[in-house]
Structure 1
């Protein structure tokens, strides 16, 4: 797959950071100060090495450090992303640390030790679990990163956290870069969740696939072609696909119900291309919606503090509309 990217920089004013940077700590920890919480001033290296995260702390941020910069959580910048909210970054890592310290499993391998020994690149894969209600429906979220890295801290972790707050079980996939390997990893993740649904306490019926940028292509491809096209046995297709800012144009006629959103100033994914695809899906008789946000650039994530804020609630309603029970 070929991509043409323009450099995008994150922004979050100093005044906003001053007002907000402690909220991520407070909202997750409440009055529990039994261990030192992360703040916007915490070094990213210290988060990665925190004992609570074992050997998977390195997967919280891009494995290839050429695609992110900033020494602290508050100064994190991810290539091709905009509107990174330091408060949300702090909230995410504190949420995960609190759950890990409480004895909950927050990370699952999707490949066996034997498979990882045969292909060491599979060491850099897995699912971060943002737990909702026991037995609730499941969402799988795929971050973008141009199929060269995984931008989870902006493009899947925030979504997973918000979905879990609404009671849904959400999994953020860390996959191998590359269109083919990424889709193979997503297919394996779906298989893993189906095979372990009872143990995990999740409902995979009417699951949804979410993604931004390259991650949106993964969600669309698995939704249209199925797990059987990427090395796994056939599992049910998703009830809905939720896509952000990707210029995918192909329509197979096998698309699940699809919700999309994008900004008009996206220099990577044309909103017109996305509108055209949604219209073609609708013309095939499949439910599809798109929200286009004036002035937004690529990689806005949850869109907090922008005209896109709240889009995730519309996406959840779209998914819920297509649940069969």
Structure 2
């Protein structure tokens, strides 16, 4: 059983995670030497939630189940090495049930999965759902449509392997935070997401403090990485990936939340999204919290605590 006193390097070196330990926890550099408690103090993160995510993964592996699914083969990687960044971490439940894909944020510079996705997956498991943390292409490989391609590939993979994975492929939701929220929200659109990729629509979208627009009120890093520095003033490309401009009456029911004084992504992002959902009569629920924080993830120990349970209830109803 891991505690908040374990270092990230210790976690990466666990024999249970042999072959992919350095993928799910930093194994080198200054961060790797930090305990989970020390790491959480870098921002508003919850050390116990992060620990719970890793302990759930250990529990799954110790039960003899597979968690790491690389979504590439060597032939494709020889042509495009960037796709080695594309993989799923599966948090299964012991029954055939719908699934949720969770996309952590990170400004399209990286995926903060251990902070946001893994703890969220723990909650989703407790509610009876299969959950997948998606690692999508970031950094120099984040330029559109790569992350959307990765989301589509992951959903197609899960659907094709539903029997093996023990999943009910008839129903799924997508969840995202910050830049990962932009990815999830964008995939909910017909023009850039599910319909464009000839996939069924998600039945719900859950968004925590998402980047929504690629216009003036966007998050600078997310916009630069996703559009490409050369395209940040190209109105056609901006419009193609600004979610508030892409909402139609067929957009999935949406649960969205954000802190009112978010110091990273302007609150106008969620406001623009909610306005577009309202104008198109899309069922939605919007929660705000009086704080300047960004990065609460599963929300444990914060004003947003319980948002996952409320979002799933919204989906079920």
TM interval, short-chain normalised: 0.7 to 0.9
Partner residue, 1:226: 193
Partner residue, 1:195: 160
TM, length-normalised to structure 2: 0.82
Runs of 4+ displaced beyond 3 Å:
61-66
1:210 and 2:184 equivalent? Answer: no
Unaligned runs of 5+ in 1: 1-36
1:163 pairs, out of 109, 124, 127, with: 124
Deviation at 1:119, TM superposition (A): 2.3
Q: Structure 1 residues 65, 188: CA separation in 2 closer, same or farther (over 3 Å shift)?
A: farther
The residue matched to 2:19 in structure 1 has which SS? Answer: helix
Deviation at 1:182, TM superposition (A): 1.7
Deviation at 1:92, TM superposition (A): 1.6
Partner residue, 2:260: 264
Q: CA offsets per residue over residues 172-228 of structure 1, 9 Å max, x none?
A: 011110152222111110110111111111012220010000001111111103346
Contact 1:213 1:246 in 2 (8 A): yes
Q: What CA RMSD, in Å, does the superposition of the two structures yield over aligned residues?
A: 2.1
Partner residue, 1:186: 151
In structure 1, how many angstroms separate the alpha carbons of the residues matched to 2:102 and 2:131?
A: 7
In structure 2, how many angstroms separate the alpha carbons of the residues matched to 1:63 and 1:280?
A: 43
TM, length-normalised to structure 1: 0.80
Unaligned runs of 5+ in 2: 214-243
Select between 162-171 and 112-121 the one with higher mean Cα deviation. Answer: 112-121
Q: Structure 1 residues 218, 179: CA separation in 2 closer, same or farther (over 3 Å shift)?
A: farther
Partner residue, 2:247: 253
Select between 286-295 and 51-60 the one with higher mean Cα deviation. Answer: 51-60
Deviation at 1:293, TM superposition (A): 0.5
In structure 2, how many angstroms separate the alpha carbons of the residues matched to 1:273 and 1:103?
A: 42
Partner residue, 2:35: 72
2:106 pairs, out of 141, 145, 155, with: 145
Contact 1:69 1:78 in 2 (8 A): no
Contact 2:44 2:294 in 1 (8 A): no
In structure 1, how many angstroms separate the alpha carbons of the residues matched to 2:156 and 2:27?
A: 24
The residue matched to 1:156 in structure 2 has which SS? Answer: helix
Q: CA offsets per residue over residues 12-36 of structure 1, 9 Å max, x none?
A: xxxxxxxxxxxxxxxxxxxxxxxxx
1:106 and 2:73 equivalent? Answer: no
The residue matched to 2:156 in structure 1 has which SS? Answer: helix
Deviation at 1:280, TM superposition (A): 1.8
The residue matched to 1:94 in structure 2 has which SS? Answer: helix
Contact 1:179 1:218 in 2 (8 A): no
Contact 1:262 1:271 in 2 (8 A): yes
Q: Structure 1 residues 182, 140: CA separation in 2 closer, same or farther (over 3 Å shift)?
A: same
